[in-house]
């Protein structure tokens, strides 16, 4: 889950995912008040399950790990749930994958209960309905990866059960680089406690979690305790926000979003019906690079004949009326596309996943008015299922609520990529160069990029555009595409494919 960049007038994704305001535990306001430092809690349970070729035994370790300063003061507790295979022998070299979502302000619930956890919540898999009301089915994850890797689901400070303690303040953690440093410290602490320093290590992040993953990979290679990662799994990548912020005058975003609009129009049978999805998407890519990009660079210098050609082709790819495109000055903002594509049917489409549809009361509004149907159609199921699973299976008892999302974090987030004392001229967030540097320092670091065709938050073409630049090593990249959206694993047919692609990536030998 990725929020929109701070200068954008669009509603932030965190609000889309969590339409109500949540009260955070231990908000840690900037003051001299020192909060108690409780003993870290651990809940250990033993389980068996079928993953891959057969049944395995594993321990579920739900625990808090303290973060400390250089002077030894404990400032935060990071909550994680680790699944560690228990029948493989203590001396066996076994990979471990650290997993987190994004926001900023989201716990790891989405990847935990939607893709990689040993149990998943079942939601309608074809965007044909919302999750309704409980009870929600909780099923065994028959596609899980526990046979090939241990998994550690991490909740950054202010999400899940993670919170500031002692002399800690939220501003020490709620920022682009502050967050990366805290997660890097957690990873070092976890592999020390569990004696996993010389085991293969991976990170799987989603949305802003990929922004974080690139920064963490870079951070782990500094600070006197170098940790080299074997690979990164980027789910709905969001490294360079210029390509994932649909905003007036951001020329990059008009380009990066167009192929996703075309794919979504294809899905709703508004465009490209004479071609397959992949063929139509490729045609949209070529138009964007070869024709649309140069036309936008010309701006008002574009002659009337060429302008009409662009209008006609944009109408062909997006399914929108040529007159509307002309009035939009050849530039279609994503929220407008959500309302306009099926306006004649009174339907608004989703942002996280353009397959989802809603009938809003306001039929003439410029933008969606009640949030994102791709979010509110599944959020209740994930929240309820995780809390029930924690209680029933993992026997977790905590004295505070588990925050699946915390909307207060975004408003306090420090996006500066430099120290607070350094000057910085505002620009779009971009951690892709940090990934490029990490890949050049670590010749074994590989990256798997997973994208949904109907993702109108972090578009698939932006992934291609971003990874073709920023000093990233091209021959260690793998791209995979799915007929879903931002959380492509909610599409029933894509869940096994995503796990299969991750399995192949994690077991590949260089």
For residue 217, what are its two tokens?
């990979």
CB 358 within 8 A of CB 348: yes
pLDDT in tens, 31-44: 457 888 999 999 99
- Report how far apart, in Å, the C-alpha atoms of 85 and of each of 96, 152, 391 are: 10, 12, 21
The residues with which 448 forms a beta bridge, in sequence order, are: 233, 478
Give the pLDDT of residue 431.
97
Cis peptide before 135 (omega within 30 of 0): yes
The H or E element that residue 9 is part of is none
Average pLDDT, stretch 344-360? 95
pLDDT in tens, 238-274: 999 999 999 999 999 999 999 999 999 999 999 999 9
The H or E element that residue 120 is part of is strand 119-121
Task: Tell me which residue of 165, 159, 173 sits closest to 403, measured CA to CA.
Answer: 159
Neighbours of 148 (CB within 10 A): 17
Give the pLDDT of residue 20.
33
Give the pLDDT of residue 32.
58
The H or E element that residue 490 is part of is none
Percent of the chain past pLDDT 90, that is, above it, reads 83
Give the pLDDT band of residue 127 (cuts 50, 70, 90): confident
- Look up the pTM and report it: 0.92
Give the 3-state secondary structure of residue 288. Answer: helix
Q: Is the pLDDT of residue 440 over 80?
A: yes
Task: Tell me which residue of 105, 220, 225 sits closest to 173, measured CA to CA.
Answer: 105
Neighbours of 42 (CB within 10 A): 10
Average pLDDT, the chain: 92
Q: What is the distance between the alpha carbons of residues 76 and 36, in angstroms, rounded to a whole number?
A: 11
Burial of 244 (0-12, 13-18, 19+ CB in 10 A): buried
pLDDT in tens, 269-319: 999 999 999 999 999 999 999 999 999 999 999 999 999 999 999 999 999
Q: What is the distance between the alpha carbons of residues 343 and 349, in angstroms, rounded to a whole number?
A: 10
CB 153 within 8 A of CB 392: no
Give the pLDDT of residue 89.
65
Q: What is the CA radius of gyration of the chain?
A: 22
Give the pLDDT of residue 26.
46
Give the pLDDT of residue 35.
85
**Residue in this structure with the two tokens 């959500």, named with its chain if needed:** 338
* Domain ranges for the chain: 13-242+378-480+491-507, 246-376
Task: Tell me which residue of 498, 383, 372 sits closest to 123, measured CA to CA.
Answer: 383
The residues with which 48 forms a beta bridge, in sequence order, are: 57
Q: What is the distance between the alpha carbons of residues 51 and 61, in angstroms, rounded to a whole number?
A: 18
Give the pLDDT of residue 509.
61
The H or E element that residue 357 is part of is strand 357-358
Contacts of 365 (CB under 8 A, 6+ apart): 339
CB 28 within 8 A of CB 168: yes
Give the 3-state secondary structure of residue 456. Answer: coil
- Report how far apart, in Å, the C-alpha atoms of 320 and of each of 245, 261, 269, 270, 462 are: 21, 10, 12, 8, 22
Give the pLDDT band of residue 421 (cuts 50, 70, 90): confident
Give the pLDDT of residue 263.
98
Give the pLDDT of residue 252.
97
CB 32 within 8 A of CB 380: no
Average pLDDT, stretch 390-409? 96
- Report how far apart, in Å, the C-alpha atoms of 495 and of each of 115, 131, 442, 450 are: 7, 17, 31, 12
Residues in the chain, total: 510
Q: Name the pairing type of β-strands 74-85 and 96-100.
A: unpaired
How would you label 81-104 residue by residue, b for 16+ Cβ within 10 Å and e otherwise?
bbbbbeeeeeeeeebbbbbbbbbb
Task: Tell me which residue of 454, 451, 447, 449 sits closest to 485, measured CA to CA.
Answer: 454
Q: Which CATH class is domain 13-242+378-480+491-507?
A: alpha beta
Give the pLDDT of residue 223.
80
Contacts of 289 (CB under 8 A, 6+ apart): none
First to last CA, the chain: 31
Q: What is the distance between the alpha carbons of residues 247 and 256, in angstroms, rounded to a whole number?
A: 12
For residue 433, what are its two tokens?
């160069």
pLDDT in tens, 12-67: 343 334 333 333 444 444 445 788 899 999 999 999 999 987 899 999 999 999 99
Query: Dihedral angle at the C-alpha atoms of 287, 430, 249, 455, nearest 10 degrees?
Result: 50
Q: 321 phi and psi, to 5 degrees? A: -65, 135
Helix residue spans in 400-493 (DSSP H)? 408-411, 432-441, 460-467
CB 293 within 8 A of CB 312: no
Give the pLDDT of residue 22.
34
CB 461 within 8 A of CB 87: no
Give the pLDDT of residue 91.
58
Task: List for the chain the helix, strand, coil content (%; round to 5).
Answer: 35, 20, 45
């Amino acid at each position: 889950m990725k929020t929109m960049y701070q200068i954008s007038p669009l509603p932030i994704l965190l609000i889309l995912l969590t339409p109500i305001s949540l009260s955070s535990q231990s908000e840690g306001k900037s003051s001299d008040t020192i909060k108690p430092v409780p003993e870290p809690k651990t809940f250990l349970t033993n389980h068996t399950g079928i993953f891959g070729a057969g049944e395995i035994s594993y321990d579920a370790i739900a625990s808090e790990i303290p973060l400390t300063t250089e002077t030894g003061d404990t400032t935060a507790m990071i909550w994680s749930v680790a699944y560690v295979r228990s029948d493989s022998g203590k001396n066996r070299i076994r990979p471990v994958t650290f997993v987190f979502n994004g926001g900023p302000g989201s716990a790891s619930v989405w990847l935990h209960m939607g893709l990689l956890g040993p149990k998943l919540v079942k939601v309608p898999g074809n965007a044909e309905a919302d999750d309704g009301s409980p009870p929600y089915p909780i099923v065994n994850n028959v596609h899980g990866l526990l046979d090939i890797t241990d998994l550690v689901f991490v909740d950054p400070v202010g999400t899940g059960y993670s919170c500031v303690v002692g002399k800690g303040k939220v501003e020490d953690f709620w920022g682009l680089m502050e967050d990366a440093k805290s997660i890097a410290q957690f990873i070092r602490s976890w592999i020390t406690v569990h004696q996993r320093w010389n085991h293969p290590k991976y990170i799987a992040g989603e949305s802003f979690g990929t922004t974080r993953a690139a920064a963490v990979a870079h951070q782990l290679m500094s600070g006197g305790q170098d940790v080299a990662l074997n690979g990164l799994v980027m789910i709905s990548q969001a490294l360079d926000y210029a390509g994932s912020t649909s905003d007036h005058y951001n020329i990059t975003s008009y380009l990066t979003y167009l192929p996703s609009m075309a794919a979504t129009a294809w899905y709703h049978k508004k465009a490209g019906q004479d071609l397959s999805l992949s063929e139509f998407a490729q045609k949209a890519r070529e138009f964007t690079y070869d024709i649309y990009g140069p036309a936008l660079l010309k701006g008002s210098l574009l002659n009337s004949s060429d302008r009409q050609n662009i209008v006609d082709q944009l109408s062909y790819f997006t399914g929108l009326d040529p007159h509307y495109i002309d009035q939009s000055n050849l530039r279609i903002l994503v929220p407008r596309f959500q309302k306009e594509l099926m306006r004649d049917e009174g339907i608004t489409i989703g942002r996280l996943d353009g397959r989802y549809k809603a009938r809003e009361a306001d039929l003439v509004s410029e933008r969606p008015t009640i949030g994102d149907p791709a979010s509110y159609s599944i959020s209740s199921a994930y929240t309820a299922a995780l809390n029930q699973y924690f209680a029933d299976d993992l026997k977790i008892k905590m004295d505070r609520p588990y925050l699946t999302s915390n909307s207060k974090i975004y408003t306090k987030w420090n996006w500066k990529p430099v120290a607070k004392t350094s000057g910085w001229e505002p620009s779009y967030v971009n951690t892709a160069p940090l990934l490029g540097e990490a890949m050049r320092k670590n010749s074994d670091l590989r990256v798997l990029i997973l994208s949904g065709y109907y993702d109108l938050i972090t578009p698939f073409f932006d992934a291609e555009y971003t990874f073709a630049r920023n000093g990233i090593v091209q021959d260690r990249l793998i791209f995979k595409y799915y007929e879903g959206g931002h959380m492509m694993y909610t599409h029933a047919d894509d869940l096994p494919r995503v796990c299969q692609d991750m399995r192949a990536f994690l077991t590949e030998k260089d």
